[in-house]
Homo-oligomer: A and B are copies of this chain.
Amino acid sequence: MKRALNFNAGPAAMPAEVLQKAEKHWLNIADTGMAVMELSHRSKEYEQIHENAIQGLRKLLSIPSDYEVLFIQGGASLQFSMIPMNFLHENTSGNYVLTGSWSEKALKEAQKIGSTAPIASTKENSYRSIPQLSDINTTENAAYLHITSNNTIYGTQWHTYPTQLHIPLIADMSSDILSKQIDINQFGMIYAGAQKNLGPSGVTVVIIHKDLISQDNDHLPTMLQYKTYANNSSLYNTPPTLAIYLLSLVLEWAEEKGGLQAIEKMNENKAKYLYDAIDESDGFYLGHAEKSRRSMMNVTFNLADKEKEALFLQSASDAGFIGLNGHRSIGGCRASIYNAVPEDHVYKLAQFMKSFKRNS
């Protein structure tokens, strides 16, 4: 089985075992003579898959029973709007911490809906860092505090969260959900597009405290109210059944790997290969993020010499490494090393970085 060295930022590598399992049942799921996508979303076979996906998330993340797990379409980008639509009211404000492009976009969508306040930002230092928790002060009328837990483009990550503020903390965890253990109780809501650590694109996971789900938002489009999903087990209309099935397999795989404690350890090892290659390069490679804010998921760096950077990206591509170009908005290099990226692929990349430097 030929497997590419896939460092894509999302959609990204899937676990090979998941793809193989899906292949095995592709034409005949649960001995029905149907493919998963041919099952009615009201059938008992599909309901089992749907429930497995919910329970898989509950187990891996130890989600307490006062939280709902929802599946919504539209990507994390639609959550940027659903959050203010559902949570902002007259005289309240959506508080945002800006740590990268995705936080900026989340704020921009909220500005269309109601009052907002960017209460902290690391833009002035090119989003290399994350604000100090003690510098984060919410406004008096804050309805919620929004953060981006991992900044996919800039390669920074929150390692502790601003939980001292007594307002619901909402985190866009699109690019680090399931990468490490977290305490769900710290959050009012977590959301994540599936296409990095969870599965294929086309489904967004929302984990939300029941107290935040208003039953009173009927002026909003039905499809944009969280209660529609909570009250109907995310089966109000046809869910993206194939994407949810693949998500359920990824969750089984994560459990088989030993759960989030084991996965966190693997991710630390993988990230260390690359950060060591950067730190031991005598300034040949320059990490973008401040060391204490480095992401375990997206390793961003430049070459000190711009011409060599272009050559590096070309040589890496020629050597079969996929997806190392930085996001088109900032350039540079980025290696995304989500859960499904095998350790030996990351090791190979670190070796390649070292040998490219030696030969330069």
Contact = CB atoms under 8 A, between A and B. Distances in A.
Interface in A296-342: 322-323, 328
A162 interface: no
A1 B306 CA distance: 56
A39 B81 CA distance: 27
Given A201-B242, A223-B74, A242-B202, A22 B26 contact: yes
Given A28-B2, A220-B112, A38 B12 contact: yes
Nearest to A77: B237
Contacts of A9: 40
A191 to B, nearest CB: 13
Interface string A7-24: 011111110000110110
State the copy count for this chain: 2
B112 A219 contact: yes
Contact of A23 (B23, B34, B43, B222): B23
A141 B292 CA distance: 61
A295 to B, nearest CB: 18
A201 B240 contact: yes
A239 B28 contact: no
A119 interface: no
B221 A81 contact: yes
B201 A77 contact: no
Contact of A109 (B28, B34, B74, B221): B221
A201 B238 contact: yes
Given A81-B222, A242-B201, A34 B6 contact: yes
Contacts of A43: 8
A161 interface: no
A5 to B, nearest CB: 8
A198 to B, nearest CB: 11
A188 interface: no
Contacts of A157: none
17 contacts: A19-B35, A22-B26, A73-B240, A74-B74, A77-B237, A78-B221, A80-B222, A80-B223, A81-B222, A81-B223, A109-B221, A109-B222, A195-B238, A200-B240, A202-B202, A202-B239, A202-B243
Given A193-B238, A202-B243, 5 more contacts: A2-B33, A11-B38, A19-B35, A77-B222, A113-B221
Shortest 4 CB-CB distances between A and B: which pairs? A202-B240, A4-B33, A81-B221, A73-B73
Interface of A: 1-4, 6, 8-14, 19-20, 22-23, 26-28, 32-35, 37-43, 73-78, 80-81, 85, 109, 112-113, 193, 195, 199-203, 218-224, 236-243, 246, 322-323, 328
